[in-house]
Amino acid sequence: MDLPPIGAELALPPFTLTRPARQEAPVVLVSAHSGRRYPTEFLQAARLDSLALRKSEDAFVEELLAAAPELGLPLLAAEFPRAFCDANREPWELDPGMFDTPLPHWVNSASPRVGAGLGTIARIVASGEPIYRRRLSFEEAERRVRDCWEPFHAALLALIGETQARFGSCLVLDCHSMPSQALPGMPVPEIVLGDAHGTAANPRAVRQVEMSLQRLGFRVRRNDPYAGGYITRRYGRPREAVHVVQIELARSLYMDEGRIERSKGFAAMQARLTGFLGEMAESDWTMLR
């Protein structure tokens, strides 16, 4: 089993930005949930073991996208785990019931994500189990936001700005993974594209992404059940020539979801996505401007 480093400290910076020798297209790859460096303080506060904590990860997504820089596309990946600090949330979506003192008045404690236990500092892992054995201090949450969330988003914002300055536009492919669960009466999708129901990206760009994935044999669905999270909705500004498409990959295609291990299908999935990234690097994106 590929367990995270026990008692590891966060990398500085808390993300990896792998740049190509030359960026070939106005496309940026992001993996906000594949980080698996679990700090000592977090493990000490958690009531769950390493495997249970990893249920919230988009495990191995950054590895599936590893060819992006060689193909001329930058790849930004978080090093910190989602269960520790969720970069696909607002910075201050916090559950007051998790903390030992009242939270500042400006904290967003009323969002549906907080109500579900999945705020910026999550109360539960994706499988529904409570994470902590004790209440946290607000200072702990603030430190995670300052040390993890803010640097990650500063790097993403800078990367978008650099890409837009060079190409006149930017398309962010915000990559995640999803549990392989069938929806009643519907074929199971292998990939779900989210564009916040047509508001986060040019429809022609979304169609171009969709057609490329379909040519590679993937069953693709749009916006159901994942229309896009904070990154999609915050940065997707088509009128300003910044477009975001969230990509959810079915985990059953490349990993054992129970053991969180790469499956025999991992290499084939990686090869298919490398083909997709190659098409993204070579596509005509003039419609983004």
Give the containing element (helix H, strand E) for 113.
helix 112-115
Question: What gap in Å lies between CA 178 and CA 187, rounded to an integer?
Answer: 15
Q: For 91, what's the count of Cα atoms within 13 Å in the CB-facing half-sphere?
A: 14
Give how far the C-alpha of residue 205 lies from the chain's centroid of Cα atoms, to the nearest Å.
20
Question: 89 vs 51, 83, 123, 153, 181, CA distance in Å?
Answer: 23, 12, 14, 11, 23
Give the mean pLDDT of the chain: 94
Residues 6+ apart with CB under 8 A from 28: 73, 74, 76, 156, 159, 160, 163, 170, 171, 172, 173
Give the containing element (helix H, strand E) for 18.
strand 15-18
pLDDT score of 127: 87
Residues 6+ apart with CB under 8 A from 71: 20, 24, 274, 277, 278, 280, 281
pLDDT score of 72: 98
pLDDT at 78 over 90: yes
pLDDT score of 186: 63
- The average pLDDT across 160-168 equals 98
Reported as a single tens digit per residue, the pLDDT across 109-149 is 999 999 999 999 999 998 899 999 999 999 999 999 999 99
Q: Which of 41-45, 63-67, 216-220 has the lowest mean pLDDT?
A: 41-45
pLDDT at 214 over 70: yes
